[in-house]
Every structure is written in C-alpha cells, then in structure tokens.
Structure 1
Amino acid sequence: MPRVAKGFVRLVDRLNYGVGRMAMYLLFVLMGILMWSTISKASGAPSLWTLEMAQFVMVAYFVLGGPYAMQMGSHVRMDLFYAQQSPVRQAWWDAITVLALIFYLGVMLWGAVDSTLYSLQYNERSPTAWRPYLWPIKMILCTGFFLMLLQALAALIRDVATIRGETI
C-alpha cells in the first residue's frame, strides 16, 4: 500500500480514537442532566430543558462514538458464515459492505449539511417550550457523519491491504 494510504488510515484512526474517548464522557453529562431532571421534578419545579438536552447529549454520544466503535470492531456483526472464512475472504466481504456504508454515509452527510445550512440561515429553533437553536446539534451530526465516513474509508483501505496480503 502507498505511504499516503497508510498515513491516512493512521491519521483517521488517531483522530477517531481521540474523539471517541472524549465522547465517552458525554455519558456522565447525560447522567447529570437526568439527575437534575429527577431532582427538579421531585422538588415540584420541573425544568423545561432537561428532556431535550438529554436527547441532544445522547445523539452526540451516539454519533461521535460510532466511528470509535467501528474502529474497535465493537459493532454488531452477524457472523454465521463470516467467522468460518479466511481473513482474505472476510476482507472481501468487508470491502463490499463498506462500499454500501460509504454510499449511505455520503447521502446522510449531504442531507445533514443541507439541514444544517437551512438551520443556520433561518435560525431554526425547536418547537418545544424551551425553544433551543437546532444548528449546534445538527453540526454535531455533520461532524459525526463525516468522521464515520473517514473511518469507513480507512476500513476500506485496510481491507484492500488485507486482500493484497499486506497489513496496516
């Protein structure tokens, strides 16, 4: 494999590892928000913002942690026949499926960018009582989809290297 491809894979892996490790801590933020929600409801003065903020934090946790999960191989895989195949054969299957994933992520990123631009242009707000701006969470979605797309490209390069008998 060319040095540029190896460098790209290492860079993407390093980037997504760091982002994924930081995204892990969003779970503690989520627990704090939900604890505050419980306390405020029990005291008789429920907060308007807790449910929606918890949803935003959960989306950020999920979307920013996805590339890290893919990198670590901790995503769900149905390996009824897959596990019995040779590593090269597995790389072929992975390369085919990651191409479908790249297409899907490209469509998702395109839609997310379009929605984010709309949200910025018109100062879109949530129709709830709290009425937060939506562009911050939409930017996080764009970032997460982009990082996942980069991780999928890195996985494709790694699969091609395995098919060629090389390792990265």
Structure 2
Amino acid sequence: MSGTLPGAVSGPREGDAFIRVVHSISRLCGVAAAGLLIAALLVTCHMIIVRSFLGQSTIWQTETVIYLTIGAICVGLPYVQMLRGHVNVDLIPLAMGPKLRLIWMVLILIVSIVVVAMIAWYSWEYLHQAWKRNWKSPTVWAPRIWFVWTAMPLGFGLLLLQLIADLWGQLRGYERPFWLEGK
C-alpha cells in the first residue's frame, strides 16, 4: 500500500490530525477483519479434519465460522470505506462539473452518515437487549449472542466515523469528489 488514497490531493491531508487518527483506526479494523477471516478459515479446516478424517461430529465449528465472518464483515467496514473498496458507478459524477460534483458528493456522504448512524443506533439497542436478557444461540453449543452482536454497533460506529472523516476531507478540499480528476 502506497499510503495515499485514490483521489487524495497531496499536501494538507497529511496535516489533519482527525483524518490521520480515523485512518489509523480504519487500518486497525482492516487488520482485525483479516485476523477474523483467518481464524474462520482455521476453524473451517479444523471442522473438515474432525468430520472427514476423525469421523466425529462438530458442535461449535459451523456457528463459530459464521460469527467470525459476521465480525470480519462488520469490523472491516471502515477499512473498505477508507480504501474506497466499494462498488462505485461514476457515470453521473463524470457528467457533472467540479462544483456540482462536490455538492453531489457532500449530499451522498450526509445521507450515508444518517443511514449508518441509524443502523449503528439500532444495532446498539439490539446488542443491549441481548445482553440484558442474556440471549443465547438456539443451538447445542448455545453461546451468548451479545458477544457476536458487539461487532455490529462497533463496525457501523467506526464506519460512521470514517464517513465523517470523508465528509471533512471533502469539505476541506483534501480529496477530490468521487476521487475523480477535475475537468
């Protein structure tokens, strides 16, 4: 990784402490997500060995892989946003002038912030309910479910922080709208 993001304008971005801190947190989330996926892979290999070669049944492996993958997806959200790793259709922004493109980008970021904030809030409520009521998975293994659901408000909360940093970067001129060169 070269250290610069697509569409970054060189110069002042490096001097903005808020964006640097948020990007550091997002990178840490990317490392954590990769670690969770590696753990899921290892548990899957364990499950295959136990079932196929040892002829034993598995109780906890399938559910663990599912939970680790959910955790990796949620915790990896801010890292993917930081790298602009999502699908981007830029047909409309390409047809816009630079000022309209900035307005469109800011509008999209504000709507995204509102939606992600709502998801973070309601996932926090859901986590709190699971904790308070001591919900468990309805399986033989029956782990407490709040531990897994912690990934949702954490991931979406950190995605919210990354979106705010993106909005700040757009408003301060540290990045180009839609990471496209000006006309």
Q: Is the pair's TM-score, using the shorter chain for normalization, greater than 0.5?
A: yes
Higher helix share goes to which structure?
Answer: 1
Question: 1:138: which partner in 2?
Answer: 149
**Superposition pairs of residues 36-115 of structure 1, within 5 angstroms:** 36-42=46-52, 43-83=54-94, 85=96, 88-115=99-126
> Is 2:18 the partner of 1:8?
yes
Q: 1:24 to 1:124 in 2, by over 3 A?
A: same
Distance 1:97 1:104 in 2: 11
> Is 2:70 the partner of 1:34?
no
Distance 2:100 2:42 in 1: 46
Size of the alignment, in residue pairs? 160
Q: Secondary structure at the match of 2:134?
A: coil
What percent identity do the matched residue pairs reach? Answer: 23
Q: Secondary structure at the match of 1:25?
A: helix
Judge conservation of contact 2:33–2:76 (CA < 8 Å) in 1: yes
Question: What displacement does 1:126 show?
Answer: 0.8
Q: Which amino acid aligns with 1:80?
A: L
**C-alpha root-mean-square deviation of aligned residues, in Å?**
1.9
TM-score, scaled to structure 2? 0.80
Q: 1:136 to 1:87 in 2, by over 3 A?
A: farther
Question: 2:12: which partner in 1?
Answer: none
Judge conservation of contact 2:32–2:72 (CA < 8 Å) in 1: no
Judge conservation of contact 1:92–1:159 (CA < 8 Å) in 2: no
Q: Which amino acid aligns with 2:81?
A: M
Distance 2:99 2:169 in 1: 11
Question: 1:122: which partner in 2?
Answer: 133
TM-score, scaled to structure 1? 0.86
The answer for unaligned runs of 5 or more in structure 1 is none
The answer for unaligned runs of 5 or more in structure 2 is 1-14, 176-183
Q: Give deviations 1:3-59, integer Å, cap 9, x for gaps.
A: xx9322221111111221232122211110111111121122121111111111101
Judge conservation of contact 1:109–1:142 (CA < 8 Å) in 2: yes
Judge conservation of contact 2:135–2:145 (CA < 8 Å) in 1: yes
Judge conservation of contact 1:116–1:135 (CA < 8 Å) in 2: yes
Distance 1:130 1:75 in 2: 35
